[in-house]
Amino acid sequence: MAAAAVTFLTGTPLNSRVVVRFALHGASESATDALGTLTARTDTSVTVQTRRGAVTVAFADVIAAKKVPPPPAPRPRSGPGAEL
């Protein structure tokens, strides 16, 4: 557990956009990221709503966390089939 990252997650308002790096269980020294909206917090975990669904991360597995800016606006389509 990274104490500074957990402190950040416990103090960050819900509905903030965050990225949380956390350790994967059963994989030696492997980690992954959850990028999305911080939607829930308990005494032992946080939930991040990602594009693929909700991800609950135990504080014991947190490696790093930070606030991130909103996603970029969608780009207009170009090329064949794009509206003119």
Q: Please check whether residue 76 lies inside any domain of the structure.
A: no
Q: Please check whether residue 42 lies inside any domain of the structure.
A: yes
Residue 72's pLDDT band (boundaries 50, 70, 90)? confident
Overall domain count for the chain:
1
> Token pair 């960050």 is at which residue?
12
Boundaries of domain holding 46 = 3-67
> Token pair 């959850």 is at which residue?
34
Q: Please check whether residue 79 lies inside any domain of the structure.
A: no
Q: Please check whether residue 77 lies inside any domain of the structure.
A: no
Question: What is the pLDDT, as a whole number, of residue 79?
Answer: 75
Q: Residue 49: which CATH number? A: 2.30.30
Residue 83's pLDDT band (boundaries 50, 70, 90)? low
Q: Please check whether residue 19 lies inside any domain of the structure.
A: yes
For the stretch 25-70, pLDDT in tens is 866 679 999 999 999 999 999 999 999 999 999 999 999 999 999 9
pTM of the model: 0.83
For residue 80, is pLDDT > 80?
no
Beta-ladder partners of 25: none
